[in-house]
Chains A and B, each alone.
Chain A
Amino acid sequence: MKMQVTINPRLRFHLSPLVWILLALMGIAFVVAMIRYIYGIGAISNLSYSYPWGFWISFDLFTGVAIGSGAFVMAAIVYIFELKEFQPLLRPSVLTGFLGYIMVVIALLVDLGHPERIWYMMIHMNDTSVLLEIGICVMSYLTVLAIEFSPVFFEGIKRKKVAHFIHKFIMPFVILGVVLSTLHQSSLGSLLLIQPAKLYPLWWTPILPVLFFISAIAIGLAMIIFESAVSSRYFHRGLEIHLLEKLAGAIPIVLAIYLIVRFTELTVSNDLQYLFNMDRNHVLMTTLFWAEILLGSIIPLIFFSFKKIRQSPNGILGSAIILLFGMILDRFDVSWFAVRHPDPLTYIPSLMQFNAHYIPSLPELSISVGIFSFGILAFGLAAKYLPLFEDEDGQHAASD
């Protein structure tokens, strides 16, 4: 069955104020990055001995990878489970994933002390390091995504034969991509396993990787909804609401599993005492926990359970946004808000860069904003020049 997709191919933001703004933000980020390369990370960020990782890691890495999960979820749905009806959602998700991972890598090139040595990970491997696994997976997965996305590219430049050729051998890459995604989506959680003494007990658990994987699926589904809904509005295309509705139907199941696993674990590891701890030193953690559970799991679980909401364009988008917000909060909690670094002890020689608090600096934020702008611009360009919203046979869907 051919999808009825409408597309308005005019690049609506061509030299529009939005483009200018995006370019300006990228320019600022570029300048800030140059300052960082010359004078050091401290010159542009508030990172410290207490907070070696900050906004970049929580936003660009943890959030970036999480919201890139749509790509592997869609790939699995379409290729592995052969639910071909979802085909129209595949390309945008793969592109989002691809761009998302490029953004992750760009951010890492700013955050790493020695970006020029990033490839050392491939020659000096320390097999106990979770970060090594993530590094290798992310780099490999980026390659896989490039391969998965390349047919679209070749179609775009009218090299359909190449596209077809690649397409023939896509399956092993799809499987590899899903495996790599499973690994690094979960390993992002494993990254914090080494901090049992620092991460607040409501978050630290040996099954962090499992929780991360399950939530990545929920995030992936929500991202596909979000992306389709937003781009349909922006590009004035029709919304594949019946598809999205079907996808969304899976979300309550995933979230239910997530909640069961998470609360079972809290019970087993005897951490229930923290659930309602309103003590001065704990109330913030308690609040964050419930905020992410409510927004990321409970509310979306309820909302997505209603067919009415799933069928309403606003309802489905709103619910997806709530889920994403809650789950991104979880990523921030795990990698930043709920991490308690060694106490910034009360008296230390003044030169010590211990900070009791960490608030990202403006230049630091500007890096992430610049990279994000790049992502949006790249997506827009791809939407204009590549057959993003076309079916996989490369034929224009009946449109216009």
Chain B
Amino acid sequence: MTNTISRRDFLKLGGAAFGALAIGRFIPPRVAQAAREAGYLDATNSGYIPSMCEMCVWRCGLLAKIQDGRVVKLEGNPDHPHSKGKLCPRGQAGLMNTYDPDRVLNPLIRAGNRGAGQFRKASWDEALDLVTKNMLDIKQKYGPEAMVFSSTHNLSQPLFENLLNAFGSPNYGTQRSLCFNAMTVANLMTFGLEEPERDYSQLNYLILTGRNLAEAISNSETGDLIHAIDRGVKVVYLDPRFTKTAAKATEWLPIRPGTDLAFHLALLNVIIGENLYDRSFVSQYTVGFDEVASAVHQYAPEWAAAITEIPADTIRRIAREFAAAAPNALAHNNWRTSNFVNSFQTERAITILNAIVGNWGRTLFPAGGGEGAGLGAPQQPPYPRISALRLDGVPWKYPFVPLQYGVIQQLRDSIIDENPYAAHGWLISRQNPVMSIPDRKKTLKAFEKMDFIVTIDILMNDTAWFSDVVLPEASYLERYDPLSLVGTPLSVTGSRAFLRQPVIEPQGEGKSTLWIYKQLGDRLGLSDFFQYKDEEDYLNQQLAPLGVSLDTVRRQGYVDLPVGNSDIYKWTTTSGKIELSSATLDQAGFDGVPKWDQPPAPSSGHFYLLTGKGARQTQFATQNNQLLHKYDDEPGLWMNTKVAASQGLNNGDMVSVTSSVGQIYVKLIVTEAIRPDCVYMQPGFGHLSMGLTTAYGLGSSDSDIRLTFTDPISGGQALSQTFVTVQKA
């Protein structure tokens, strides 16, 4: 398992921490009888239990307030570096996901046509047997590779991957190629790690390239950013939209979409051309500087100005300011970097920028934690050898995409094309591909190719709606998951593994995926790969090498892991140094140093269709949460005021938005906060599932009309590369 999204923060901040919750003061763990007997919960089953948020992948620590056996409030866990006592809007609203009246609380088996939404309740035995029978049939008829597995990052993913590998299928889809492939593959190429840790404590200058931290919230990092701005850190923010981050930034640059690479190349040009980089750092810790220097020679700010629409003087000034602030400076590597096919090289340019001014060791550190270092795991035999090619082209078509990422949009396309072979079954867990992969009609077409689809979810999401079997997972407040690592820089405190534990009894028939995967494994004849009795047994095996009891971990919510090797100046690249120029890329016929790569642009009358998160929704998963809905803004299509006026469009008009793959209808939001050549939609609305009674009928889905473009290096999807026309409906 890759603990991709592990970050840390060790800043101790002043401010409002008055009377923050201290764990010791609260009566700790355990849900049922046992918890009461142990005195954790009082006679009325009331008290506080530490666990972890799962409303997004940031996974903050939480303290659940329990009254009479119900969760009544969630607080941020002050001990957890991602929450520091706070929860973001989604985290605060989390209990409404658990208590959502639309929760799926029983295994369901399809009773009508696919997509008609008719299901009947079934027992776990019946449902699991049906799933097993279908999986075995497919395996027998078409080989294990005809079974596709996909899941979005979650704490039980090691067990999901276990199931996939033991079953013998190479076909694995994650959200990653839709999300951060460009960034992580660039980091891998440069630093040999997926994502370095960022440290804001010594920061003086920050460049955010569309990292909308004020709305695409990463609880602690969002707080760090605001505190940094408060202290006077200069923040340059590039985004075609005036987001809430733009409003906080010192400087907002409404860059032309897809041209961030040109901007960063020009920064490199100035910094190298004016000798503003850190010579000793470059010579000591990097390779390939000269190639970079000669490549960026041609990218003067004047050149970039014409492309990015940012004045040359501004670019030059920022380059100088950035270099002057270094090493207390940071060009943020961003997160969702699935904008254009050149996003990978943009990310490469950013890593190089940080490296040559010597930010490493000051604002950037190796990720702490590592791969579950120090934790145990159940015994298991080696996986069967897999000979079939992966449908998503990794690595035969996409050599640099890690196996655990995959290219899910390509997977979908290959299923439709049955190339290189046909797939027949799809097991989906904690993922909503019907909504998240571009070009929704295509995804539904891929579903039609399937003999059997099973989805594990807590809600009747859109993917479940089109499935044959839906298995109800217990919500994150009702279950255990494997221990998760939250890194802090190795040099600082070592790392901690935090525990997700049930804070209430599961409602209905909901079960943890630790249980579900084991049940499936056992039935599929793969019990050797699931050598644990139950969730607690799994956790005990994880804790065994540390000599800490599960009870202790339950009570404090985490366990400290041994401090690892702390040499931060060693990189796991081929050269062992920071690779400014990548020989690996060169050898594969790609650009070893970033070069300008002009992405397509909309023709006249067309707009870039941008996407980006809103603070009160997570992806395609939370729109049914009534508390979030209560405080959210109405969804719609943003369009620049003057452009709308010139087209005779008014705020609130229904408009049709048309791309080359489809058309949607949506309410228009007229705003000054967007470039005239762009329109924007928040993702996650326009659900197809009528099993989401709050969300159904709300807004429209941009995914419906997005085009599929895959960057051949990182496998990243280019989401901003869809161009549309807008007409009054």
Where the two chains meet, the residues of A that have a C-beta atom closer than 8 Å to any C-beta of B are 347, 349-351
Q: Kindly state whether residue B18 has any CB partner on chain A within 8 Å.
A: no
Which residues 634-652 of B sit at the A interface, judged by CB distance below 8 A?
634
B609-636 near A? 1/0 per residue, CB < 8 Å: 0000000000000000000001111100
Closest to A349 in B: B631
Residues of chain B within 8 A of A351, CB atoms compared? 630
Which residues of chain B come closer than 8 Å to A349, judged between CB atoms? 630-633
**A-B contacts, 8 listed (Cβ < 8 Å):** A347-B633, A349-B630, A349-B631, A349-B632, A349-B633, A350-B633, A350-B634, A351-B630
Q: Which residues of A contact B633 (CB under 8 A)?
A: 347, 349-350
Chain A contacts for B630, CB-based, 8 A: 349, 351
Provide the bound-state CA to CA distance between A347 and B673, in Å. 15
Residues of B within 8 A of A347 (CB): 633
Which chain A residue lies CB-closest to B630? A351
The secondary-structure label for the interface of chain A is: loop
| Chain B interface SS verdict (over half) | loop
The interface residues of chain B lying within 8 Å CB-to-CB of A350 are: 633-634
CB distance from B635 to the nearest CB of A (A): 11
In angstroms, Cα B636 to Cα A350, docked, is: 14
Q: How many angstroms from the CA of A350 to the CA of B634 in the assembled complex?
A: 8
- Shortest 8 CB-CB contacts between residues of A and residues of B: A349-B631, A351-B630, A350-B634, A349-B630, A349-B632, A349-B633, A350-B633, A347-B633
Of chain A, the residue at the smallest CB distance from B616 is: A349
Q: Whole-angstrom distance from the CB of A184 to the nearest CB of chain B?
A: 43
Size of B's binding interface in residues, CB under 8 A: 5
Q: How far is the CA of A350 from the CA of B630 in the complex (A)?
A: 8
Beyond A349-B630, A350-B633, list 6 extra A-B contacts (CB 8 Å): A347-B633, A349-B631, A349-B632, A349-B633, A350-B634, A351-B630
Q: Report Cα–Cα, A394/B618, bound state, in Å.
A: 82
B632 contacts across to A, CB distance below 8 A: 349
The smallest beta-carbon distance between B244 and chain A, in angstroms, is: 12
A351 CA to B631 CA in the complex, in Å? 8
Specify the chain B residue showing the minimal Cβ separation from A351: B630
How far apart are A356's CB and chain B's nearest CB, in angstroms?
15
CB distance from A396 to the nearest CB of B (A): 69
Q: How far is the CA of A247 from the CA of B600 in the complex (A)?
A: 88
Q: How far is the CA of A347 from the CA of B633 in the complex (A)?
A: 9
Report the nearest B residue to A347, measured CB to CB.
B633
* Chain A residues whose C-beta falls within 8 Å of the C-beta of B631 in the assembled complex: 349
Q: How far, in angstroms, from A217 to B632 measured CA to CA in the complex?
A: 54
List the A side residues contacting B634 at CB < 8 Å: 350
User: Shortest distance in angstroms between A96's beta carbon and chain B's nearest beta carbon?
Assistant: 49
CA distance A347 to B671 in the complex (A): 13
Assembled-state Cα–Cα distance A349/B633 (Å):
6
Docked Cα-Cα span, A350 to B633, in Å, equals 7
CA distance A121 to B631 in the complex (A): 37
CA distance A113 to B584 in the complex (A): 75
Chain A residue with minimal CB distance to B631?
A: A349
Q: With A and B bound together, what is the CA distance between A391 and B631 in angstroms?
A: 68
Q: How far is the CA of A349 from the CA of B632 in the complex (A)?
A: 7
**B residues 15-45 touching A (CB-CB < 8 Å):** none
Least distance between A26 CB and chain B CB atoms (Å): 41
How many Å lie between the Cα of A221 and that of B12 in the bound state?
A: 75
Residue ID in chain B nearest A350 by CB atoms: B634
| Residue among A347, A349, A351 having the largest count of chain B Cβ atoms under 10 Å | A349
User: Within B287-339, which residues are at the interface with A (CB < 8 Å)?
Assistant: none
Output the least CB separation between A349 and chain B (Å): 5
Kindly state the separation between the CA atoms of A349 and B634 in the bound complex, as whole angstroms: 9
Complex Cα–Cα for A219 and B632 (A): 51
Q: Shortest distance in angstroms between A379's beta carbon and chain B's nearest beta carbon?
A: 49
**CA separation between A350 and B698, bound complex, in Å?**
14
Q: How far is the CA of A351 from the CA of B630 in the complex (A)?
A: 7
The CA of A349 and the CA of B630, in the complex, are separated in Å by 8
The answer for the CA separation of A351 and B633 in the assembled complex, in Å, is 10
CB distance from A23 to the nearest CB of B (A): 44
Nearest to B632 among chain A residues (CB) is A349
The distance in angstroms between the C-alpha atoms of A351 and B629, with both chains bound, is 10
Distance of A351 Cα from B634 Cα, bound (Å): 11
* Least Cβ–Cβ distance between A351 and chain B, in angstroms: 6
**Shortest Cβ distance from A218 into chain B, in angstroms?**
48
B214 to chain A, nearest CB (A): 16
Compute how far the CA of A347 lies from the CA of B632 in the bound complex, rounded to whole angstroms: 11
Looking at the assembled complex, report how far the CB atom of B123 sits from the nearest CB atom of chain A, in whole angstroms.
41
Instruction: Give A66 to B630 CA distance when docked, in angstroms.
Output: 44
A327 to chain B, nearest CB (A): 42
Q: B105-129: contact bitstring with A at CB < 8 Å (1 yes, 0 no)?
A: 0000000000000000000000000
Closest chain-B Cβ to A171's Cβ sits at a distance in Å of: 62
Q: How far is the CA of A349 from the CA of B631 in the complex (A)?
A: 6
Encode contact with A along B246-266: 1 for CB under 8 Å, 0 otherwise.
000000000000000000000
Q: How far is the CA of A347 from the CA of B651 in the complex (A)?
A: 14
Distance to closest chain B CB from A345 (angstroms):
14
B634 to chain A, nearest CB (A): 6
B391 shortest CB reach to chain A, Å? 44
Give the CA-CA distance A347 to B631 in the complex, in Å: 12
User: Which residues in chain B, 368-392, are within 8 Å of chain A measured between CB atoms?
Assistant: none
Instruction: Determine the distance from Cα of A127 to Cα of B631 in the docked complex, in whole angstroms.
Output: 39
Q: How far apart sit A349 and B89, CA to CA, in the bound complex (Å)?
A: 14
Docked complex Cα distance between A122 and B632 (Å): 44
> Complex formed: what's the CA distance from A69 to B631 in Å?
49
- Give CA–CA (A236, B540) in the complex, Å: 101
Give CA–CA (A347, B244) in the complex, Å: 14
A253 to B506, alpha carbons, bound, how many Å?
Answer: 81
| Complex alpha-carbon distance, A102 and B729, angstroms | 55
B667 vs chain A, min Cβ distance (A): 13
> What's the least CB distance linking A352 to chain B, in Å?
10
CA distance A238 to B208 in the complex (A): 89
Question: How near does chain B come to A12, taking the closest CB pair, in angstroms?
Answer: 55
Bound Cα distance A350, B652 (Å) = 14
Task: State in angstroms the CA–CA spacing of A347 and B669 once bound together.
Answer: 13
Q: How far is the CA of A335 from the CA of B401 in the complex (A)?
A: 70
Q: Which residue of A lies closest to B634 (CB)?
A: A350
What's the nearest-Cβ distance from chain B to residue A176, in Å? 53
